[in-house]
Amino acid sequence: MDIKSIIRKKRLKEELTKDEIKYFVGKLNKGEITEAQAAALMSYIYINGLTEEEILNLSVSMAESGDMIDLSDISANIVDKHSTGGIGDKATILLMPILASLGIPVAKISSRGYGISGGTIDKLESIPGFRADLSTEEFKQNIKDNNVCIMNQGLNLAPAEGKMYKLRNEVACENSLPIIAASLMSLKLATGSNKIVFDITSGKGTYIETKDEAKRLSKLLVKLGKDLDKEVACVITTMNQPLGTSVGHNLEMKETIMALRGIISEDLGNVVEALGSIMIALATDNKDLDANAKMIKEAIRSGAAFEKFKEMIATQGGDTEYIEDPELFERSKYIMPVLSTETGTVEEIDADIVGSIAVYLGAGRMKDEGKINRTAGITLNKKIGDQVTVGETLAYIHTDEDTKINGTTQNLKEAFKITNKRINFNSRILEIVK
Q: Which strands sit side by side in the sheet containing 393-399, from one edge to the other?
A: 246-247, 377-380, 393-399, 334-339
Q: Is 38 found in the same domain as 93?
A: no
pLDDT at 204 over 70: yes
Together in a domain, 339 and 319: no
Q: What b-and-e string marks burial along 44-67, b requiring 16 or more CB atoms within 10 Å of the CB?
A: bbbeeebeeebbbbbbbbbbbbbe
Task: Tell me whether residue 165 is in a domain.
Answer: yes
Which pLDDT score, from 0 to 100, does residue 167 have?
87
Judge if 209 and 254 occupy the same domain. yes
- Summarize pLDDT for 367-391 with one digit per residue, the tens: 555 588 999 999 999 999 999 999 9
Q: Residue 177 sits in which domain range?
A: 79-324
Q: Worst-scoring range by mean pLDDT, 26-35, 70-79, 396-405? A: 70-79
Q: What is the pLDDT of residues 321-370, one digit of tens each?
A: 999 999 999 999 999 999 999 999 999 999 999 999 999 998 876 555 55
Same domain? 170 vs 109: yes
- For residue 344, being part of any structural domain is answered with yes
- The length of the chain in residues reads 434
SS3 content of the chain, % helix, strand, coil (to 5): 50, 15, 35
Residues 414 and 303 in one domain: no
Q: Do residue 337 and residue 320 come from a single domain?
A: no
Instruction: Please give the single-letter amino acid code of residue 5.
Output: S
- How would you label 298-319 residue by residue, b for 16+ Cβ within 10 Å and e otherwise? ebbeeebbbebbbbbbebbebe
Segment 125-147 mean pLDDT: 93
What does the pLDDT read at residue 365? 64
Q: Is residue 373 part of a domain?
A: yes
Q: Which residues of 239-262 are buried (b: 16+ CB within 10 A; e: fewer)?
A: bbbbbbbbbbbbbbbbbbbebbee
Question: For residues 100 and 146, what is the distance between their CA atoms, to the nearest angstrom?
Answer: 7
Helix (H, G, I), strand (E, B) or coil at 83: strand
* Side chain identity at residue 91, one-letter code: A
- Could you tell me if 137 and 240 lie in one domain? yes
For residues 340 and 306, membership in a common domain is answered with no
What CATH number has the domain bearing residue 229?
3.40.1030.10
**111 in any annotated domain:** yes
Count of structural domains, the chain: 3
- Whether the pLDDT of residue 12 is over 60: the answer is yes
- The answer to whether residues 88 and 116 belong to one domain is yes
Residues 199 and 261 in one domain: yes
CATH of the domain at 413: 3.90.1170.30
Q: Is 63 among the domain residues?
A: no
pLDDT computed for residue 113 by the predictor: 59
For residue 60, tell me if it sits in a domain.
Answer: no
> Is 412 in the same domain as 265?
no
* Domain co-membership, 165 together with 298: yes
- Which 3 state secondary structure label does DSSP give 262? coil
User: Within a domain: residue 298?
Assistant: yes
pTM attached to this predicted model: 0.90
Residue 315: inside a domain, yes or no?
Answer: yes
Question: Has residue 39 got a pLDDT over 70?
Answer: yes
- pLDDT tens for residues 76-104? 888 889 888 789 999 999 999 999 999 99
pLDDT tens digits for 408-420? 999 999 999 999 9
